[in-house]
Structure 1
Amino acid sequence: MTGQGRRRASRAFSVLTGLALLAGCSDVPYDAPAFSFLSSYKSAQAGAPVLLSNANWWKSFNDPTLDALIETGLAGNLSLDIARERVTEAEAIQRSVPQSAFLSPRAGVRGERDENGRTDTRASASLGFDWIVDIYGGRRAQIDAAGARIEVADAEVDAARLLLLLNIANAYVDLRYQQASLALRQSELASRRQTLELIERLQQGNAATQVDVVKARALVSETRSEIPAIRAAIDAARNEIAVLSGKVPGTLGIDLDKGVRQPRVSLSPEVGIPADLLRNRPDIRVAERRYYAAFRDVAAARADLYPQLSLSGTITRSSLSGAAGTEYFFGPALTFPILPNTARRANVEQRESLVRQTHTQWKLTVLEAIRDVETSLADYAAALSAQRSAEETVRLYKEVVTLTRQIVTRDGATIRDLIDAEQNVSSANTTLAATLRRAGRSFVALNVNLGSGHGAGEPG
């Protein structure tokens, strides 16, 4: 190396060292956002938050049909497939970040004819080398931000999985509610027909009036008119479940008429608050990773404000009609940003604003998660209490109907008493079915809001 070359290399090394020292002072460490959960929950007054281990919460229904539907849905849901593909897309985006070092080979052959008509063959091959020195961590920041967006996409898969569990479980609870309603209407129809026959017999003995007969017939007709809408709701729930499972309606392959009963749960409402809500809730993880990605984007934008140092070189081998030669080149290059630097500084300010926005969004997401959990706990506790009362109401009204039937024939009660008693049983049964539906849906909502089951169906 010549003296001039050594001086050039020495100056480049001095510049590189100075920039490296400056870069070391400009790297701002990342502090993950934190939230004090213990003082935020109403239930925390009784003690510290606890870990609710309820990953496969739907199995608390003890319903093999629901278990099969969940398994089918996790394997075939199309929205879940789309979410998984977004992870693949995010991984590809990270790989597309420009490399810090790369080779650029070139080769070519051509023929040239001189003034005497002779043809000379000229061949050349070169290998170029470029290395961009990542002094300010711009490229590293780009890779980190892209990695955070992979984690965002991965958390969104968990969110899609929770949404699927919510939708399938709710659709199944609704289906069983409609099927129970159909059974109730059919049983009620049979009971009212029986009452109509009794009233018609009493009319023949002048113990009932024509008005009583007409009212009994109207009740039979009223009950019959409610059945078609319930059947349509059952079909709609079946179709919803099929589509959620990735199947064409009518091709689900799971018998939804087998063992028809409304799902019941008995989990105590005093489940506490899981201390790892931050980890369980995919939306909170999405918000935190978006904040981190925005934070790293600022570092990448700031790196563009400073000069860029690169080392490059080429080796060229050429020949002309048998005569060959080799040329070498290697040296540093320092690229300065265009001045004035207004546009790039504005880009940094924009990125910094996005950091503040994403941090605020994270705090909002956490607050909304706490609200969701507390609301779900209250709703679930209320639904269980209402369910117990509704069950007792049905039992008592059924007893009233039995006693009224016995004394009507002995003139101890009127036909109106019997009709009223049957209507009370019908209303009580309808209320119980709706209460069971509410309890089931509130149990589903509670677990989804806790983030339980976010990893369901994943290997390992």
Structure 2
Amino acid sequence: MAGLLWRRAGRGTVLLAALSLGAGCSDDPYNPPIFPFLASYKAQADSVPRVLDNLGWWTGFNDHTLNSLVETALAGSLNLSLAQERVIEARAARDSLPMAASLSPSARVQRERVDGGSDLTRSEATLGFDWLLDIYGARRAQIEAAGARIEVADAEVDAARLLLLLNLANAYVDLRFQQNSLHLRRAELRSRGQTLDLVKSLFEGDAATRIDVVRARALVSETRAELPGIEAAIAGLKNQIAVLSGRIPGLPMIDLDARTPQPRPSLSPQVGIPADLLRNRPDIRIAERSYYAALRDVKTATAALYPQLSLGGTLSLASLSGSRTTDYVFGPALRLPVLPVSGQRASVELRESRVRQAHTGWRIAVLEAIGEVESALTNYEASGKARRDAQETVRLYTEAVNLTRESVTRDGGTVRDLIDAERNLSVANIGLANALRQLGRSYIALNVSLGAGNSYGSAPQIAAK
């Protein structure tokens, strides 16, 4: 029976298959997109490619507390855990794709009573087999697209890790800034209290006016009024750090109250050459792999325009009260696309448009990456200069306060000069603290814009072929 089916259907099927195969569906090799990087990029001329994926740039702050926070957050972040689950989902989606060959066994046993009171036992067993010939590479394209989406999910994990590092490091730098500001305000409160006592004593000796006393008291009140807002900001940043670490705010964790100087980067960021961005930045890898997946989707949609050839058959065993029969069928099958094919062609055009969109998205991602690195380099250099100038300003105003205080006690200066000098020193101290904060944040932004640290602590990934 099977031989008869093969002889009758085989010639026509083989002929149609040959014609469809002759229609061709070339599988051109994939050429990754190339971006013409600008020659004005600020990296050094003698730079060589650097792999920055696992660079622990935060250790450049030489802050053990920050290092511990990073390890804790990477282990406990819920956002990172969510991104990792999406990788598992993408892998399951690939593994759930239909296989080229499939078996479909089935069996049934039935007991019947016929006229006359006798019982009959009917049993059937069927084994189906189907093998789809992937002439146009549709299934291979589906697998490749699914593999690319796994790589997209992997890169999204790296992007989530990079975002976590950015938010955590910024929150820590801001926390130390607020704590230093609180320390400065309390020191200023003590200093202005001493000035108020001095002005009161001078007022009692008719060496100061009532206006001087009021101004000195106002400065004390002004400084005291700033403390609650700073304390609230410190509490909010602690809560933010706890949430980023996957912990409930308020529960004990790493001690963040210890008196610690504001973090200062001690290492020069490794910029490398522009092409490094293609390997280091997760967003660019996501865009490139999305582009590749879109190309593979076009391949799948195009294959649907042509006939599909498969080989299949069934083997059936039946038994009726001890009497057995065997039947089998084997032969090719040709599935023709639904006519008219305008819907399928529109599907191809849709996916081709998505390819163009993905390519444009990749170019946008590269352009934005270059812009971010350029801006981050400029900001980091400017922050370093601002910090040096702020340090010199604090030194000069500190000297001015000491000289003015000595002058007032010797009746050589006025109380107003002392109050103005203290106000200037207060502004200079906060300016220095803010300059250190901006230096730390610009160092963080530069490293994150380079994609550094995005794979820190993760298992090594196998490069896509």
Inter-partner Cα distance in structure 2 for 1:238 and 1:444:
19
Shift in Å at residue 22 of structure 1? 3.6
Superposed displacement of residue 52, structure 1: 7.2
Report the secondary structure of 1:206's partner residue: coil
Moved more, 53-62 or 335-344: 53-62
Note if contact 1:393-1:428 (Cα within 8 Å) is conserved in structure 2.
Answer: yes
2:192 paired with 1:192: yes
Counterparts of 2:272 and 2:381, CA distance in 1 = 12
Q: Which moved more, 1:75-84 or 1:274-283?
A: 274-283
**Which is worse superposed, 52-61 or 76-85?**
52-61
- CA positional deviation for 1:115: 3.3
- 1:337 aligned partner: 337
1:127 and 1:52 map into 2 onto residues whose CA distance is: 54
Q: CA deviation at 1:202?
A: 1.0
Distance, in Å, in 1 between the alignment partners of 2:195 and 2:326 is 110
What residue is the counterpart of 1:9 in the other structure?
10
Query: Where in structure 2 are there 5+ consecutive unaligned residues?
Result: 461-465
Q: What's 1:43 paired with? A: 42
TM superposition shift of 1:12 = 3.6
Deviation for aligned residue 1:15: 3.9
**Mean Cα displacement is larger for which, 11-20 or 378-387?**
11-20
The answer to which of 408-417 and 157-166 deviates more is 408-417
Identify the residue that residue 352 of structure 2 maps to in structure 1.
352
The alignment covers a number of residue pairs equal to: 458
User: In structure 1, how many angstroms separate the alpha carbons of the residues matched to 2:41 and 2:304?
Assistant: 48
Give the aligned partner of residue 383 of structure 1: 383
Where 1:43 maps in the other structure, the secondary structure is coil
- Shifted more, 98-107 versus 226-235: the winner is 98-107
CA RMSD of aligned residues (A): 1.8
Match of 1:306 in 2: 306
In the alignment, what sits opposite 1:155? 155
Distance in 2, matches of 1:2 and 1:157, equals 55
Contact 1:52 1:273 in 2 (8 A): no
Deviations 1:369-393 (A, max 9, x none): 0000000000010000000000010
**Alpha-carbon separation, structure 2, partners of 1:189 and 1:217:** 11
C-alpha distance in structure 1 between counterparts of 2:269 and 2:154, whole Å: 31
Separation in structure 1 between the aligned mates of residue 4 and residue 142 of structure 2, nearest angstrom: 39
Give deviations 1:302-333, integer Å, cap 9, x for gaps. Answer: 11111111111111111111111111110111
Q: Could you tell me the TM-score, scaled by structure 1's length? A: 0.95
TM-score using structure 2 length:
0.94
Is this contact kept in 1: 2:6–2:332, CA < 8 A?
A: no
Any idea what SS the aligned residue of 2:42 has?
A: helix
Q: Is the 8 A contact 1:291 1:359 kept in 2?
A: yes
Cα deviation 1:7-66 (Å, max 9, x = unaligned): 64344444444444544x4323322101133x3443258455653758100000000000
Q: Is the 8 A contact 1:111 1:122 kept in 2?
A: yes
Query: SS state of the match for residue 171, structure 1?
Result: helix
Identity, in percent, stands at 59
Question: In the TM superposition, what whole-angstrom CA distance separates every residue of 1:334-367 from its partner, at most 9, and x where no partner exists?
Answer: 0111111111111000000000000000000000
Instruction: Give the match's secondary structure for 2:30.
Output: coil
Does 1:121 pair with 2:141? no
Residue 284 of structure 1 corresponds to 284
Question: What is the 5 A alignment of 1:135-214?
Answer: 135-214=135-214
Q: 1:108 to 1:277 in 2, by over 3 A?
A: same
Q: Is the 8 A contact 1:148 1:289 kept in 2?
A: yes
Once the two structures are overlaid, the 10-residue window that deviates more, 393-402 or 408-417, is 408-417
Give the whole-Å Cα distance in 1 for the aligned partners of 2:361 and 2:201. 72
Further displaced range: 41-50 or 28-37: 41-50
Determine if contact 1:51/1:274 at 8 Å carries over to the other structure: no
CA distance, structure 2, for counterparts of residue 197 and residue 190 of structure 1? 11
Q: How does 1:409-448 map to 2 (within 5 A)?
A: 409-448=409-448
Q: 2:463 maps to which residue?
A: none
The one-letter amino acid of 1:357's match is Q
Q: What CA distance in whole angstroms lies between the structure 1 residues aligned with 2:180 and 2:232? A: 14
Distance 1:46 1:29 in 2: 33
